[in-house]
Chain A
Amino acid sequence: MWKLNPEDIFLFFKCDPELVVYNKLTRSTSLIPPSIVLAYKIFQDNPSAAVSSDTLFHELKERQNNVVEICSVESYIEHLCQIDLIVKL
């Protein structure tokens, strides 16, 4: 299960469909590609809730008309964790 990290440690530059994120603690800048932005939005829609990979998979399937694979979801989670946008519980 994963949940959203507090957003106040980040700065965002929204450039749909991409997102650029600046982490104030690590001073690093990351570009999030469109597919991962979609996954991140699911976490944002559930700010206080823990989200499992299964939930994320089903939500993404719904939002992307079934075009998603479970291995992709795992890589999305890994990417979001790497830049600290979400944290493992």
Chain B
Amino acid sequence: MKLSDLDYIDIKHYLKTTGLSFFAGSFSVNLKSKIPSIAKGVMQLYGDSKINQTDFSDFHIVLKADSGIRRWIRPRVEFLLSDRAPFFPMPYEQAFPLLEWGLNWCVTNHCHEYLVIHAAVLEKNGKAIILPGIPGSGKSTLCAALVNTEGWRLLSDELAIFDPVKNTILPNPRPVSLKNQSIDIIKSFSKTAQFSPTVRDTIKGSVAHMKPSYESVVQRRIPAVPRYIVFPKYNKDSNLGLVSITKGESFLELAEHSFNYQILGEQGFTSVASILDKCDCFKYVYDGDLSSAIDQMETLIADD
């Protein structure tokens, strides 16, 4: 049973009472909230996700609005994981982005059986491309464009979750986070994609989330084998394309982009080594021309 099999009234009811239990990517979440934008966001962007019909959830999350006088003066929202608040409250209208950021935080801080890298991951023809990148590198824009291109599956727009036992990437298909100019770029790139309302003045600027494709969500149990690592770098004045880089350089970059490399110690080292054993590595400088970028990624996959 999917979340879209429930109507809005049911979703609101579960969120307010027992909690709504569903799969956010590969992890089960029990979510409680009385905030309308949470109910709307979950219904709009997680509609293809399965309802979790077991009693177990990986994460028990509450998004709670201020009570008392603060409800009326600059209201805020708080993110609670198992009744603890890991962050300061944020402005009330940022509730849905806070849920998404909080979910990322849950994975990066609790899932140390995996190596978690700050990277988008997409797959086509059984081959996964890992796109590590700092904010502003163009990673999420490129990722969103590829997700809207036939044949590409989203594994994650933010977290490459490497399973060191199976040597594969665990899919975590959740809404794609877009910021500032990327929102309009992707809206004009894809007329069929669905977006949350844009939330302005967050710590990351304006933020909107794009619904992951149905195919990506239903294949959430199918891991992917990493084949390429591409470090994107947006530069409006340059379109160098793909430039091969050494595995040594890529090793340090991947470790740098990992959230838990230091925590994992030797396991972190062997995990990065396992990824690189299978991958060719590139830097990719692009000027924002998404059609050209998609062609390059298609060629990369086809050349193999």
Contact = CB atoms under 8 A, between A and B. Distances in A.
B261 to A, nearest CB: 8
Contacts of B276: 13, 15
Summarize B's interface: helix, strand, loop or mixed: helix
A82 interface: no
Given A13-B276, A15-B276, A29 B247 contact: no
Interface stretch (B13-21, B22-30, B231-239, B266-274): B266-274
Contacts of A22: 266, 269
Given A15-B276, A20-B251, A29 B269 contact: yes
Interface string B266-291: 10011011001000000000000000
B255 A29 contact: yes
Contacts of A32: 248
Contacts of B266: 11, 22, 24
Contacts of B251: 13, 15, 20, 29, 31
B278 to A, nearest CB: 13
Contacts, number: 40
B202 to A, nearest CB: 34
B248 A18 contact: yes
A44 B276 CA distance: 25
A24 B272 CA distance: 15
A39 interface: no
Most chain A CB inside 10 Å of its own CB: which residue of B247, B266, B272: B247
Interface string A20-49: 101010010101100000000000000000
A87 interface: no
A51 interface: no
Given A11-B270, A13-B273, A31 B249 contact: yes
B246 interface: yes
B239 to A, nearest CB: 28
A19 interface: yes
B248 A19 contact: yes
Contact of A27 (B248, B249, B265): B265
A27 B255 CA distance: 12
A27 B264 CA distance: 10
B280 to A, nearest CB: 12
Contacts of B252: 20, 29, 31
A23 to B, nearest CB: 10
Nearest to A33: B248
A24 B269 CA distance: 10
B109 interface: no
A11 B273 CA distance: 10
B258 to A, nearest CB: 11
A31 B246 CA distance: 11
Interface in B63-83: none
A22 B255 CA distance: 12
A19 B273 CA distance: 11
A11 B246 CA distance: 19
B269 A11 contact: yes
A27 B270 CA distance: 13
Interface in B204-259: 246-249, 251-252, 255
In order of increasing CB-CB distance, the 3 nearest A-B pairs are A18-B248, A15-B247, A22-B269
21 contacts: A11-B266, A11-B270, A13-B247, A13-B248, A13-B272, A13-B273, A13-B276, A15-B246, A15-B251, A15-B276, A18-B246, A18-B248, A18-B249, A20-B248, A20-B251, A20-B252, A20-B273, A27-B262, A29-B255, A31-B248, A31-B249
Given A27-B262, A32-B248, 8 more contacts: A13-B248, A13-B273, A18-B247, A18-B248, A20-B252, A20-B273, A24-B265, A29-B255
